[in-house]
């Protein structure tokens, strides 16, 4: 091996998460986070389908652009009230299933 050579080892999804996903506690946490990411993706896709920038979207919803940016990147925890604001601005409804 050369002096500055780095060797990378890649693991499969099952190697990394297989054991954890068999744990009910971890699986519940994983499912909640996955649902949150899917919701974030739907919000971003709605904004893009309307050809809105984050700034114009934020104005329409009534919140700062920075909140929309953090929400879309997953760095902002949003409330049910925030979801209702976003849905209402586009004539949509929030449905819990």
70 band by pLDDT with thresholds 50, 70 and 90: very high
The phi and psi torsions of 32 (rounded to 5 degrees) equal: -65, -45
Instruction: Name all domains of the chain by residue range, CATH numbers in brackets.
Output: 45-97 (1.10.260.40)
**Residue 77 DSSP code:** -
Q: Under a CB-based contact definition with an 8 Å cutoff, are residues 61 and 86 in contact?
A: yes
Kindly write down the DSSP assignment for every residue of 1-48, as one continuous string.
Answer: --TT--------HHHHHHHHHTSHHHHHHHHHHHHHHHHHHHHHHHHH
Q: 57-68: per-residue pLDDT in tens?
A: 999 999 999 999
Q: 17-61: per-residue pLDDT in tens?
A: 887 778 888 888 888 889 889 999 999 999 999 999 999 999 999
Cα–Cα dist 49/63, whole Å: 20
Cα–Cα dist 43/27, whole Å: 24
């Amino acid at each position: 091996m050369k002096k500055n050579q780095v060797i990378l080892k890649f693991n499969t999804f099952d190697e990394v998460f297989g054991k954890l996903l068999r744990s009910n506690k971890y699986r519940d946490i994983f499912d909640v986070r996955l649902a949150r990411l899917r919701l974030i993706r739907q919000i971003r896709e709605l904004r893009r389908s309307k050809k809105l920038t984050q700034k114009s979207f934020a104005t329409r919803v009534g919140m700062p652009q920075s909140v929309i940016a953090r929400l879309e990147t997953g760095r902002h925890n949003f409330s049910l009230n925030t979801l209702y604001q976003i849905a209402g601005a586009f004539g949509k409804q929030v449905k819990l299933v």
